[in-house]
Amino acid sequence: MTTSNEGVQVERQGAVLHITLDRPKANAINTHVSRALARAFIELRDTPALRVGIITGGGGKFFSAGWDLKAAAEGESVTADHGPGGFGGITELFTLDKPVIAAVNGLAVGGGFEVALACDLIIAAEHAAFFLPEPGLGIIPDSGGVLRLPRVLPRHIAHEMLLTGRRMPAREAHGWGLVNQVVPAADLRQAALDMAARIAGNAPLAVQAIKQIVRGSETLGVAQAYEAMRAGRYAAYDRMLASADAHEGVAAYAEGRAPVWRTM
């Protein structure tokens, strides 16, 4: 089933929610689009049968050009309310414990790059590139670029991108660990679906616990993170430990069969 609203197409494929930002010519994002994207990501979050999300752009040139500058010229403020998930529906959706894959099919510019950075994995087409032009527009990439990029790239490389706005091609991004895979454009959708299928084949609560703990412990030392985990600060971890699935995986391995996960 496919639905479309505000240039956002949403398609369920089994346990995978495929989200396509399709606003020719550049898949730019305004407040209406951000809210439509947020609805899609909240659907992923709140639907037990859905385990993984994929976001990509329509067409072959842009993943997303980021903030809709036409809307800005017409009066949309840089501080406008983009809805419950922040810009792009995901950059501030900190309650989403299910993985999201960015299938970057072209240029990821400014806020478009920040949407990709907010995802858990990035698969890029060979011709894709990433850059943050905001300083040249008199603003900063405050939808996650200035916060997330220095945590992904070496400090000086992140500063170069942030301060100069230079483009980083997909192959270079892969070399720095920013991108998981680089594939021919024709193979991008299938590569993302293959990655999603591998994730969806694992125990849902275990996957959610991993994402919640990784996110929640980013600012903690290892000892503090252990303490937080053992003290019950990560609800998904506690649900996983108490679930039948925590025993099912071991039993299935011992019995030489595929596990049957029962808890979403």
Enumerate the active-site residues. Answer: 114, 134
Looking at residue 132, the DSSP 8-state letter turns out to be: -
Neighbours of 256 (CB within 10 A): 6
Cα 148–chain centre separation: 12
- Strand pairing of 121-125 and 62-64? unpaired
Question: Would you say the C-alpha torsion 34, 188, 130, 63 has a positive or negative sign?
Answer: negative
Looking at residue 9, the DSSP 8-state letter turns out to be: E
- Residue 228: helix, strand or coil by DSSP? helix
Distance set, CA 88 to CA 29, 40, 94, 229 (Å): 7, 11, 13, 30
Neighbours of 172 (CB within 10 A): 15
Instruction: Report which residue type is found at 50.
Output: L
Reading the block at residue 204, the tokens are: 């849902």
Give the count of alpha carbons within 13 A of 231, CB side only: 8
Q: Which residue has the tokens 């942030």?
A: 162
Give the count of alpha carbons within 13 A of 67, CB side only: 27
